[in-house]
């Protein structure tokens, strides 16, 4: 009798702990700091702007899944004037990605995860000089990766913190731009 009761209690505890990391669909939204690294003719610089991300995925098992998302990586602007001439430059970046995910539950509420996949990046640069403007738009498909942690504070809702590297957004002979983002957000599991 005691062995049966102990077996039932252990089985129930295992099933309840696995339910927080069970298979199924999810959606989420994050906000964070997007870092843009610009390299032109040997010179480089970094800018940090606010980025946002919307995504959805499906956990095939408690450890493996697939995720797709859209990240708006912010807008970088700069202007200069010498009293006669006024010049300005705007740069915008975004990414669409699909990735495989791997999660490691450390407790019923807390897990760490990693992702790797492909991202279709798009960057647009607009330059203005004394009222005249010109723009350039480029797309680049490259590998992406990310790592993060998830804490489930309610039955279907969790808070997520993650780092993602989207690789090169613009890749030209004269220079390139790279983007990465550190963000936090909420995830809802169906």
Answer yes or no: is pLDDT of 106 > 90. Answer: yes
Judge contact between 66 and 101, C-beta under 8 A.
yes
Task: List C-alpha distances in Å: 136 to 29, 77, 126, 133, 139.
Answer: 29, 15, 6, 10, 10
Answer yes or no: is pLDDT of 11 > 50. Answer: no
- CATH number of 2-189, picked from 1.50.10.150, 2.40.110.10, 2.40.160.20, 3.40.50.800: 2.40.160.20
Q: Name the average pLDDT for the chain.
A: 85
For the segment 2-25, the average pLDDT, to the nearest whole number, is: 54
How confident is the model at residue 137, as a pLDDT? 83
Residue ranges per structural domain of the chain: 2-189
Q: How far apart are CA 120 and CA 175, in angstroms?
A: 18
């Amino acid at each position: 009798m005691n062995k049966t009761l102990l077996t039932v209690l252990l089985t129930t505890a295992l099933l309840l702990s696995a339910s927080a990391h069970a298979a199924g669909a999810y959606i989420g939204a994050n906000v964070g700091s997007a870092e843009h690294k610009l390299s032109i003719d040997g010179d480089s610089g970094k800018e940090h702007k606010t980025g946002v991300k919307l995504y959805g995925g499906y956990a095939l098992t408690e450890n493996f899944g697939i995720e797709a998302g859209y990240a708006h990586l912010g807008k970088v602007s700069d202007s200069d004037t010498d009293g006669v001439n006024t010049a300005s430059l705007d740069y915008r970046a975004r990414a669409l990605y699909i990735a495989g995910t791997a999660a490691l539950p450390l407790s019923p509420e807390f897990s760490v995860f990693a992702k790797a996949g492909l991202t279709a990046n798009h960057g647009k640069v607009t330059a203005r000089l004394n009222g005249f403007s010109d723009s350039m738009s480029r797309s680049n498909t490259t590998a992406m990766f990310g790592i993060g942690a998830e804490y489930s504070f309610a039955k279907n809702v969790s808070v997520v913190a993650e780092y993602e590297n989207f690789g090169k957004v613009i890749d030209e002979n004269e220079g390139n731009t790279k983007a990465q983002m550190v963000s936090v957000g909420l995830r809802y599991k169906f």
